[in-house]
């Protein structure tokens, strides 16, 4: 991590994965829920507590639906076990490491944006059309653009694909914009 201030720049060795959780509003009703009792201004002020520059560094924004009583009281095995998910993640990380090892990186998160935006890693224009449109409309920052690209590569690695296509880019945009709900 590099901290730049007027009197100098210092580099701190750090590698973190930041996970944040928050209620959608002060009354803590589910997002878009009809039972929310907050005035719109109160809701806005609450959500503004997380600053834009901070949120711009969050790659995945996922809304969690509340559990129903039925879900809480019936115990069913999850469709995918933690061990299966761990194996898939290990496979995806290995694929990323193989791809980037010649350049000295191991993870998609370590690859600089410009590298992903130029040959040979640049994706065909047809596959990034939605992404470029989001940038042009001001829905995404330049930093967000690169972060969506990295996320699309990770989704592609998790699916065992060679490179992300339009579907993976689109999924990454949805995760980035907070339009995704946990299944």
Sign of the torsion angle spanned by Cα atoms 168, 22, 52, 15: negative
Stretch that binds Zn ion, among 6-14, 30-38, 71-79, 128-136 (CB under 5 A): 30-38
Residue 33 found at the interface with Zn ion (CB under 5 A): no
Q: Which three-class secondary structure state does DSSP give residue 142?
A: helix
Beta bridge partners of 4: 9
Q: Which helix (H) or strand (E) holds 63?
A: strand 62-63
Minimum distance, C-beta of residue 24 to Zn ion, in the bound complex (Å): 7
Binds Zn ion by CB under 5 A, chosen from 30, 31, 38, 61: 38
Binds Zn ion by CB under 5 A, chosen from 11, 14, 23, 29: 29
Report how far residue 55's alpha carbon sits from residue 13's, in angstroms, rounded to the nearest whole number: 22
Residue 116 found at the interface with Zn ion (CB under 5 A): no
Decide whether 25 or 116 has the Cβ nearer to Zn ion: 25
The β-bridge relationship of strands 8-11 and 2-5 is antiparallel
Residue 27 found at the interface with Zn ion (CB under 5 A): yes
Positions touching Zn ion (CB under 5 A) are: 25, 27, 29, 36, 38
């Amino acid at each position: 991590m590099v901290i730049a201030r007027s009197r100098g720049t210092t580099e701190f060795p750090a590698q973190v994965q930041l996970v944040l959780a928050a209620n959608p509003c002060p009354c803590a009703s589910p997002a878009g829920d009809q039972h929310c009792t907050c005035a719109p201004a109160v809701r806005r002020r609450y959500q503004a507590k997380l600053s834009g520059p901070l949120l711009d560094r969050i790659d995945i924004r996922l809304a969690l639906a509340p559990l129903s009583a039925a879900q809480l009281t019936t115990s069913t095995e999850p469709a995918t076990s933690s061990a299966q998910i761990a194996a898939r993640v290990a496979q995806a990380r290995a694929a990323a490491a193989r791809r980037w090892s010649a350049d000295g990186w191991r993870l998609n998160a370590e690859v600089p944006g410009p590298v992903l935006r130029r040959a040979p890693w640049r994706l065909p224009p047809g596959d990034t059309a939605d992404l470029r449109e989001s940038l042009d409309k001001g829905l995404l920052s330049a930093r967000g653009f690169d972060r969506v690209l990295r996320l699309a590569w990770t989704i592609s690695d998790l699916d065992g694909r060679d490179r992300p296509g339009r579907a993976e880019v689109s999924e990454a945009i949805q995760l980035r914009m907070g339009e995704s709900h946990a299944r």
